[in-house]
Amino acid sequence: MKVIRAHITGWVTSFRNPLFISGFQPTLSMPPLSAIYGLLTAAKGDWVTPHDVAVGYVFQSSGKAIDLETVYEFAGKLDAKSNINRREFLVKPQLYLYTPDMWLKEAFERPRYPLLLGRSTDLATVTSIEEIELETVSQTTFQDTLLPFPHPQIYGQIQALPTHFTAEIPRRPCGIRAYCLLTEKIDYHGEALHDSEKNWGVYLHERIPGDFPIPTEQSPRIRNQVDVDFEVADMAEEQMLLSGLELTGE
């Protein structure tokens, strides 16, 4: 399969764990799909969602550290008091982003808006853009990537995460489902895509059928707009599979 592989790097990044609201803020070990589609949206300068693009990625970093940040807690109209939070962050992040949608190459070459890997301060840079061929193999290894859960061959941290957010404000998460955050190398037996140069497996999150509704200035504001075309995937094992992939376990 012919794909674009974009190598995106930064100095630091942090991906909010949705289970933590206040106090210490740990980071996820890798970006959720919503962060990936947010990055693509910034690059293109227009909405890019799972309805438009199939993506896969491998994310690496050199370690973790903890920073102190000032937060302001509003108790009234203009009354606020400052406080100190501890936030975990990842050092020297590297994102290898794969997509078969070749029209995104121009967006990577000339991003419309600044690229961010996590928060608004986590600036990122596209260091290379290559057109490569992913091989179809019967055995590979997955590591440092996000895969749908469950699957008999996959294990790791399980987290409920969104794929993208609605276009209207306030934004609401769409496509929430369970994912497995793979930080350890896992041998996978079955048909899969493989990057022979990097020697790792690539899981492509397929496009969602239908269109993504985007409010316009002419249309009335819809507060309770729902992404009606999205259907939460069945948790059955076959949902893990790539096209044509067969399970080897029971």
If you average pLDDT over residues 204-229, what whole number do you get? 63
Query: What does the pLDDT read at residue 216?
Result: 60
If you average pLDDT over residues 118-136, what whole number do you get? 94
Number of neighbours of residue 28 by Cβ within 10 angstroms: 22
248 domain residue, yes or no: no
246 domain residue, yes or no: no
**CB of 14 closer than 8 Å to CB of 90:** yes
User: Which comes out higher in pLDDT, residue 83 or 100?
Assistant: 100
Q: How confident is the model at residue 243 (pLDDT cuts 50, 70, 90)?
A: very low
**H helices present in the chain, as ranges:** 33-44, 105-109
If you average pLDDT over residues 168-179, what whole number do you get? 88
Name the token pair of 65: 């550290």
If you average pLDDT over residues 129-152, what whole number do you get? 95
Q: Looking at the 3D structure of the chain, how many domains does it have?
A: 1
On the CB side of 199, how many CA atoms lie within 13 Å of its CA?
A: 1
If you average pLDDT over residues 37-58, what whole number do you get? 94
247 domain residue, yes or no: no
User: Which comes out higher in pLDDT, residue 219 or 158?
Assistant: 158
Q: How confident is the model at residue 246 (pLDDT cuts 50, 70, 90)?
A: very low
**CB of 80 closer than 8 Å to CB of 72:** yes
If you average pLDDT over residues 187-212, what whole number do you get? 93
Q: How confident is the model at residue 128 (pLDDT cuts 50, 70, 90)?
A: very high
pLDDT tens for 141-152 read: 999 999 999 888
Which domain range does residue 163 map to?
Answer: 2-240
Q: What angle do CA 162, 117, 45 make, to 5 degrees?
A: 85
As a whole number, the mean pLDDT across the chain is 85
**pTM of the predicted model as reported, rounded to 2 decimal places:** 0.82
Shortest CA distance to 62 belongs to which of 27, 97, 93, 29?
93
80 domain residue, yes or no: yes
The SS3 of residue 38 is: helix
186 domain residue, yes or no: yes
Answer yes or no: is pLDDT of 235 > 70: no
Query: What does the pLDDT read at residue 230?
Result: 46
**CB of 173 closer than 8 Å to CB of 21:** no
If you average pLDDT over residues 73-98, what whole number do you get? 86
CATH number of domain containing 170: 3.30.70
Which DSSP state fits 25? B
